[in-house]
Amino acid sequence: MSKFQKGFLTGAATAAHQVEGNNVHSDYWAMEHMQYSSFAEPSLEAVDHYHRYEEDIKMMAEAGLNAYRFSIEWARIEPVQGQYDEAEIGHYRRVLECCMENGIEPVVTLMHFTSPKWLIEKGGWENEETIGLFANYCRYVVEKLGSYMHYVCTINEANMGLQIAAISERFKKQMMARMQQANSVKEAAKDVEGSVQVGLNMQKMMENMQKQSTENMEVFGTATPQVFVSARTPEGDLLVMRAHQAAKKAIREVNPKLQVGITLSLHDIQVKEGGEKIAAKEWESEFSHYVPYIKDDDFFGLQNYTRSVYDADGICAAPEGAPLTQMDYEIYPQALENCIRRVAKELDIPIIVTENGIAVADDTLRVDFIGKATDGVAACIRDGIPVKGYMYWSLLDNFEWQKGYSMTFGLISVNRGTQERTAKPSLAYLGSLQEKTGAGNL
């Protein structure tokens, strides 16, 4: 008997910049090509999903998946402020049509970290004007493509800026504490990179900080460009929520039938003796304070990879001997069920797991991780929690932001010399969990 029944969305996820290639109008493209870049390497052609999406979508369908979460790239749609590219809208229309032709339900994200370069030059994600500019973009996309969709995520991991701010501060403190030790910066960087669910290169960021300031002035017109994953102020955090609400309003005005939500990056926050207050504060920052802004959404996109454990001194290192991913996360698939249950206590709307995955070379570990994580999802459903989908991160081995191509999350491997795809056993395994009756709707 299949683990997930008719109507459940079982799929995989990608982000445009990480897979499409040649996203030349975006802020990330500019940062990747700076002399003092924090990126291990530039994205370049990525895995050429822009041209190979049909092959990739068919591989999903043939494996038994029925849903695909992907993003539409704002920098492609609006490369110059106020000038929309009809050819790029046509491209994403073809992607959506390909999903429909293959029985795949698209779950579309409108902003997955990357922004048009011009937006950052105007002040980026700390600038009040961004709220209206983002809503205008979302309105345009839905006017053109809304009839091809059912589910829209406005913003990916809206809380990432606060997480970056927190780990940046922690990194500085750890670096100071290690100043007398060999490899102090390297070790401190490794400690904090494993506590945030995005590919960061903290050591390179800190080492290049002064040189980057000068180059940022040349590239963006400011020493401190406010890209989406910059360390965010409380005011900027609120701005992102207001941008989400403005986008949701615009989307519903155009197409009230669309299901609209947002995604947050959540850890399974656990407590050791003495860490109760710290852990409670972390959950409030990571999730609870957003509830007033998202409680009227149509669904919530939950993204989880691991747990965070707190004691009286703060966040704890992974237990000695615990298996770690390539990202230095603890391998802990039980975290997903714990997060779902905790969210459901505070937010009374349907949940879609929009990201959950593991970066490892050994695919048997990935299969085991998916099995245990989805066991937790199924247990939540049995208990009446309205979980409507599970999207594994990611469909393809791809560009993991500042870490480049060294992290292998994918269900499908890619030879970047030839762009040849090879399905891993985990792809078929994930597909086997879904009853073979086609995609479902909320």
Q: What digits encode the pLDDT tens for the residues 193-235?
A: 455 555 566 566 666 766 788 899 999 999 999 999 999 999 9
CA 101 distance to own-chain centroid: 26
Residue 178, SS3?
coil
Going by C-beta distance under 8 Å and a sequence separation of 6 or more, which residues neighbour residue 253? Answer: 139
Q: Angle of helix 49-63 relative to helix 425-432, nearest 10 degrees?
A: 50
Give residue 408's region: left, alpha or beta (phi > 0; psi -120 to 50): beta
This prediction's pTM: 0.93
How far apart (Å, rounded) are the C-alpha atoms in residues 178 and 21? 39
- Confidence band for 166, pLDDT divided at 50, 70 and 90: confident
- Confidence band for 182, pLDDT divided at 50, 70 and 90: very low
Annotated catalytic residues are 157
Side-chain-side CA neighbours of residue 47 (13 Å): 27
Mean per-residue pLDDT for 310-329? 95
How far apart (Å, rounded) are the C-alpha atoms in residues 305 and 323? 14
Average pLDDT, the chain: 92
Both tokens of 72, joined, read 């539409």
How far apart (Å, rounded) are the C-alpha atoms in residues 324 and 272? 21
How far apart (Å, rounded) are the C-alpha atoms in residues 427 and 12? 9
CA distances for 144 relative to 7, 89, 233, 286, 301, angstroms: 27, 7, 34, 34, 24
Contact 376, 336 (CB under 8 A): yes
Share of the chain above pLDDT 70, in %: 89
Q: How many residues does the chain have?
A: 442
Domain range annotation of the chain = 9-161+227-432
Going by C-beta distance under 8 Å and a sequence separation of 6 or more, which residues neighbour residue 90? Answer: none
Going by C-beta distance under 8 Å and a sequence separation of 6 or more, which residues neighbour residue 208? Answer: 36, 37, 38
Tell the burial category of 33 from Cβ atoms under 10 Å away from its Cβ (0-12, 13-18, 19+). Answer: middle
Residue 310, SS3?
strand
> Which tens digit of pLDDT belongs to each residue from 263-318?
999 999 999 999 999 999 999 999 999 999 999 999 999 999 999 999 999 999 99
- Site of tokens 């994403």: 92
- Confidence band for 251, pLDDT divided at 50, 70 and 90: very high
Which fold is adopted by the domain 9-161+227-432? TIM Barrel (3.20.20)
- Confidence band for 191, pLDDT divided at 50, 70 and 90: low
Going by C-beta distance under 8 Å and a sequence separation of 6 or more, which residues neighbour residue 209? Answer: none
